[in-house]
Amino acid sequence: MQPKYKRILLKLSGESLAGENKHGIDFDVVQKICEPIKKCVEAGVQVAVVVGGGNFWRGRSSGEMDRTRADHMGMLATTINALGVADALEALGVEVRVQTAISMRQVAEPYIRNKAIAHLNRGKVVIFGCGTGNPFFSTDTAAALRAVEIEADVIMKATMVDGVYDSDPKKNPDAKKFETITHQDVLNKGLAVMDSTASALCKDNDLPILVFSIDDPENIYRAVCGENIGTVVKNEI
Ligand code: UDP
């Protein structure tokens, strides 16, 4: 299989790193996710990664807390995951750089767009931590923003469902899966692909998203090779 894309932005939810426990990091699971990432790099694909933080903390589920502070905690959680994924990739012999949107220079590089692109051009995986660096945003929006900034060909959203459905497939056995759908329809129908801020950013910048299941991590490589898995969301279908 030959890769279809030259530069991808892979969005990994925090949940996908937690395995059965649904909380924290399961390093066996992370290693399995990192193996196809290595395969992509070896096939010459430039891989940037945005990681979520929901396996540790979500600002919007923090109850009575001040939302901005809760979101600061969420962004720190994404960095824990970024470091975990970086470690697993390095253990596989892949060169990695972590860049964070909130400076923590002793821990990671600060996010600098041109430097990120230079790393990618040298075949290093770049992992973006701290989301956008701003509260009230999500790591999906960070994925869309970084993908546009680094001029990625596509966002690969590796998630817990195998595509975009017209209703929740866990609740409705008759839910219909889309093979392709437009960003506009996702927004109009309020489908839970990404939050509306992220969807709008993808729509306005003509950035396609591929949504597929991470249950089988090899899907990452299949998706990069253009195999028909999951759902493609784009402007023109
Ligand atoms: N977050 C934020 N700004 C961002 C990205 C993330 O404040 O740009 C915080 C927010 O609290 C969010 C948490 O980080 O709930 C974890 O991110 P997200 O919920 O997107 O993670 P995922 O659901 O993908 O694991």
Average pLDDT over residues 35-54: 98
For residue 153 and ligand 1, the question of a CB distance below 6 A is answered with no
Confidence band, pLDDT 50/70/90 cuts, at residue 62: confident
Going from the Cα of 126 to the center of ligand 1, the distance in angstroms, rounded, reads 18
Is 2 a residue whose pLDDT tops 90?
no
Percentage of the chain with pLDDT > 90? 92
Q: b/e per residue, 71-108, with b = 16+ CB within 10 A?
A: bbbbbbbbbbbbbbbbbbbeeeebebbbbbbbeeeeeb
Q: Which atom of ligand 1 is nearest to the CA of 141?
A: 8
Q: In the prediction, which pLDDT does 21 show?
A: 87
Is 92 a residue whose pLDDT tops 80?
yes
Q: pTM of the full predicted structure? A: 0.97
Is the Cα torsion angle 130, 56, 193, 2 positive or negative in sign?
positive
Going from the Cα of 163 to the center of ligand 1, the distance in angstroms, rounded, reads 21
For residue 22 and ligand 1, the question of a CB distance below 6 A is answered with no
CATH architecture observed for domain 7-234: 3-Layer(aba) Sandwich (3.40)
- pLDDT tens per residue across span 194-231: 999 999 999 999 999 999 999 999 999 999 999 989 99
What are the structural domain ranges in the chain? Answer: 7-234
Q: Which atom of ligand 1 is nearest to the CA of 139?
A: 20
Going from the Cα of 77 to the center of ligand 1, the distance in angstroms, rounded, reads 8
Among 190, 236, 193, CA closest to 211? 193
The mean of the pLDDT values for the chain is 96
Q: In the prediction, which pLDDT does 237 show?
A: 83
Going from the Cα of 162 to the center of ligand 1, the distance in angstroms, rounded, reads 21
For residue 36 and ligand 1, the question of a CB distance below 6 A is answered with no
